[in-house]
Structure 1
């Protein structure tokens, strides 16, 4: 996996998603039992493997921890997902199952439970097999290394938007993306899990009042890039009808340290060989058998900070960037966008780790992430630092290079083939996702749009009345897009195609200055 040539604070600053959880996003994953009143109102639904008993709430129902595939343990570790086994009686679906193995962060204490291929369903009252509602399948972010489906309480989207929302746990880290010679599915097991969940949705969501013929695949950060990968995967044919990509542009580059991307299979295999050697299996006669005996904590201790799926594989024959550029992707309508200040969270973390950005240090900071001398000099000229508090400039470099401009490029390429709506979330006073006072105002950083769509960790964020109205507007856009591929409606400002819609509490307006504001002509020309 690509790493930046410099480590900050003893940890490589790499990759994408919300992997720098301490900087970007801390939500409490909670498996608290339902209230007695909710438990008494639990409901039961039948799926192919058996009955599940969920929980009734005011205006919606939830069904948590439903298996969509067999536990990937023993010989199924690093194997394509297998069907879930039937269960006797009624399965308790009133609380989330364990998230997939990951270090501590978003999930307090982390997780080591490999029996994690589960999903959660939130369905509004009135959704029935006879009156099915559109379905949104949500893939969480976290650098393909951290994150949990249960962090995303989707009841506001379900009730206001009249949609069924499915949140998915999929294999992460080395358990999800290890590549090794002779191992079928190398480098793409987590993506295969996502496809298994989509097949489950096609087969089973009707029982929950979802329309199996109207499925939108959505995700943020690593989840957004996963949507890109599914658009490019031949194996995902027929599994999604629309796509929503938040802060996970399909055209990121692996040579840029924060860019969402995939890597060629030989590169992924080299990373897998390094991991095997690190855990003592490199010289084993049967390397895979040895690796399958390694404990989960040991694997978590040696895996990379972030992960990239492998392309040049059966599931992902081409990098998503190549597939999008050549038109070889599933032609479905797409809603795509990012945040105005994507890079500020990372910049604040780098500075907080003891690396100030001043006029004197700026060339070295840039050179750490862009080791080509020609690139580094050009970036320093384009983004000068004149004061000792250069954090926002570093944030702009990260955000423009790795999110804003790749998102603009992805939108242009997609729009040549399919209907596309593009947004930029721009609430400069978005509620902070981490405790404490930031080193500088973060504006609308990576992941800051999420509280407008979900109650993260099951707890609503503090929003002003104007921010609540923006949240309602965003939910309306997202769910109308899921229903008809057209986000427009009588209660919201018109969102035209081919134009970026700026989303902020004091304005929801089309804008044509996004590329100029983020220096995209510069980044597009940089080798």
Structure 2
């Protein structure tokens, strides 16, 4: 195998690993089979548990959640019918109402995926569920803002239940909804004549948003004040929904974390979309690997294939397809033309986005040295002349090869595309841009990295969530930063402006650097990440 193919394949595999391996659900909260109805007789709606309502009436039936200290959770609520049998690769259908009271005290099954964030993976297609976290106490005078969270994981892994949102809900006095959506080939397969090709996972996200508009009021949320937020593939999903005509009116603000809308599919780390023709070609490859390539009815054959076989046959990374009814244009082109839903946006990336991938590749036995650097650069930037220009702009000396490679990945695929996205969006809507820069952020993967990672991809997430229900160890200064980040995010959700009297001023038209005891606006991020170089390189 060539160096180009080896490094690209390894890089794609790390995309999902870096975003998810650290947040596995704790053993004390095993996922239950989602196909189980989990209904039973119980007290009437409004019954108190510990003095607070844990039974709520949704549009499809009653659900019983869990009362915690200061908040309540309702887990595994169906927002659409199970996409199984003939509904595999079909647009989401309405959920089936249930009798009695549905148990919503445990997470539902994650959507099908290989082992990683979900211990042992998942093969349960009955996975279109969401989780609600809402502050406890008296009913507020006004409904609370709602934040709908889309998880990352390269569109192949991840689960809404990995994101314990109680700190965000209680400190920010907001309702947080985390969503599971179809992943991998089950979420993004494209085939000629298949309605919804390449966009089933995006359609699921829209179905969840429609559920929120219709039913979040029962949990104290304001259906007229919904912020759609996500990180990595979840952030790019927000970009796609900004450009998707059918998402009109489904959300009122957007938060995009490390998922720039101008990411490119020819670079293996940044999330992006691909043309329908390319998605169909990938679909034909999947059909051939699954033994259905020569079938008279390819889709009927694929619907009979076992989930585990499909997971083994699919590509490591997946992308939504554009030139489709749900996503008519590449989101980057739509945003550049001003054809997107004009809602306020909070967007940003991390100071050292690429270091996790670079460290993984170095650890896998591909050191970046002055001698190997030209070949490594060419493996990821094969266009004529690009690698030579990159090696000149980012020279590698004897001992700093890994961080230099990480800077190239971070600058090319995250920092500079985020700056471009900022410029395009800010022409039309209020926008706030951040850079998370805690160089001592708690590690997200096990083991000692070959070099200090700084603030790599996903390192801001423990400041917003208890990942997998397990809070990370933070210093006092990092706790203050976490509180400040939550304050910014939830004030933005409430008023479309993150500023408030308890936090440092966040001016528009600058980048706010977020680090412990050092939250300051900066105008040097563009130069620091060599964005003029990358814009010229193309």
Please give the TM-score of this superposition, normalised by the length of structure 2: 0.94
Structure 2 residue 370 is matched with structure 1 residue 356: no
Residues in 1 aligned to 2:485 and 2:331: alpha-carbon distance in whole angstroms: 27
Structure 2: any 5+ residue segments left out of the alignment?
Answer: 31-47
- Is 1:168 matched up with 2:160? no
Q: Structure 2: how far apart are the matches of 1:223 and 1:457?
A: 17
Q: String of CA shifts for 1:127-175, please: whole Å, max 9, x gaps.
A: 7486310000000000000000010000000000000000000000000
User: Which of 331, 344, 347 is the equivalent residue of 1:333?
Assistant: 344
Q: Structure 1 residue 73 and structure 2 residue 84: aligned?
A: yes
Aligned ranges for residues 322-401 of structure 1 at < 5 Å? 322-401=333-412
Matches of 2:98 and 2:329 in 1, distance apart?
A: 39
Q: Do structure 1's residue 94 and structure 2's residue 92 form an aligned pair?
A: no
Deviation at 1:211, TM superposition (A): 0.2
Instruction: Determine if contact 1:123/1:209 at 8 Å carries over to the other structure.
Output: yes
Q: Alignment partner of 2:73: what SS?
A: strand
Moved more, 23-32 or 158-167: 23-32
**17, 21, 24: which one aligns with 1:20:** 17
**Corresponding residue number in structure 1 for 2:37:** none
Specify the alignment match of 1:7 in structure 2.
6
3-state SS of paired residue (2:75): strand
Q: Cα distance, 1:31 vs. partner? A: 7.0
Alpha-carbon separation, structure 2, partners of 1:520 and 1:11: 26
Match of 1:269 among 280, 288, 309: 280
SS of equivalent to 2:92 = coil
Superposed CA deviations along residues 295-317 of structure 1, whole A, max 9, x for unmatched, are: 00000001111100000000000
Map 1:193-342 to 2 at 5 A: 193-342=204-353
User: Given the alignment of the two structures, is residue 405 of structure 1 paired with residue 402 of structure 2, yes or no?
Assistant: no
Cα offsets for 1:343-379 (capped at 9, x unmatched): 0000001111110000000000001101123001000
Instruction: Provide the C-alpha distance between the structure 1 equivalents of 2:49 and 2:321, rounded to a whole number of angstroms.
Output: 43
Residue number in structure 2 paired with 1:476: 487
* Contact 1:62/1:94 (8 A) holds in 2: yes
State the secondary structure of the residue aligned to 2:16: coil
2:523 counterpart (512, 520, 527): 512
Assess if the C-alpha contact under 8 Å between 2:21 and 2:116 holds in 1.
Answer: no
| Residue 443 of structure 1, aligned match among 444, 454, 461 | 454
Q: Secondary structure at the match of 2:186?
A: helix
Aligned to 1:63: 74
Deviations 1:379-425 (A, max 9, x none): 00000001144100000000000000000010011000000000000
Please state whether the residue corresponding to 2:267 is helix, strand or coil. coil
Q: CA deviation at 1:5?
A: 4.0
- Once residues 346 and 230 of structure 1 are traced to their aligned partners in structure 2, the CA distance between those partners, rounded to angstroms, is 27
Q: CA RMSD in A?
A: 1.8
Q: Provide closer, same or farther for how the CA distance between residues 257 and 310 of structure 1 changes in structure 2, counting only shifts above 3 A.
A: same
In 2 relative to 1, CA 127–347 (structure 1 residues): closer, same or farther, beyond 3 Å? farther
* Corresponding residue number in structure 2 for 1:434: 445
Deviation at 1:97, TM superposition (A): 0.2
Deviation at 1:15, TM superposition (A): 8.2
What TM-score do you get using the length of structure 1 for normalisation?
0.96
For 1:179 and 1:15, how far apart are their aligned partners in 2?
A: 21
